[in-house]
Amino acid sequence: MRWLTNRLPRPWAIAVDWVVTIAGAIVLVVAIEHWIVGPYRIPSASMEPTLNCAHPDAGCEARFADRILACKLCYDISSPKRGQIVVFHTTPRTATVCGVGGTYVKRLIGLPGDTVREDDHGFIWVDGKRLDEPYIQASRRKQDVSANPSYLGHVWHVPKGQYFFLGDNRGDSCDSRAWGTVPRHNLIGRAIATYWPPNRITIR
């Protein structure tokens, strides 16, 4: 850096130093966001109350939508695990079924090769074992049973290289039960933190 500024008048040298520093910081931030960690906003009520969206949108319970950080590098060094909250690109069918596609945030329930079933009480079973889901409120499970009777007793088989996602707010979630599984290459990253608003800051 000094070779670039040592022949310049001091004011110019200071200006160049600032420009290079700011440009370097911008490049670093862009690189981090592209390859390592990215910020995302929660747009819908499908993950309430684990992740809040902002009213007056339907079903949203908060004044401000949660902002989360997704670790993009995590799935380059380890496999996705059941129970993780994942940011992913939807499949083309999702936009047709749900009315909107793009980027979704849901909980990973079914791994490649799993058999997933929802019983008549809204509980999820994987390969014959009922999942322990403390993040699902009893009232929301009842709402799911009432709102989605066609899913009760249904069985889904997760193909190789695919993943099955559900929202925590099952009665108000357009998820894999409706549009199927998501291929591995569509997974963006694992949600590792909520960073906004301040009263919702959480490390996952």
Q: Which residues are catalytic?
A: 46, 106
Cα(42)–Cα(54) distance, integer angstroms: 8
Task: Reduce the DSSP state of residue 134 to 3 states and report it.
Answer: coil
Cα(116)–Cα(137) distance, integer angstroms: 20
Task: Reduce the DSSP state of residue 16 to 3 states and report it.
Answer: helix
User: How many of the other CB atoms lie within 10 Å of CB of 180?
Assistant: 17
Residues 85-112, buried b or exposed e (16+ Cβ, 10 A)? bbbbebbeebeeebeebeebbbbbbbbe
Q: At a CB cut-off of 8 Å and minimum separation 6, what does 181 contact?
A: 110, 156, 158, 159, 162, 163, 164
Beta carbons of 7 and 70 less than 8 angstroms apart:
no
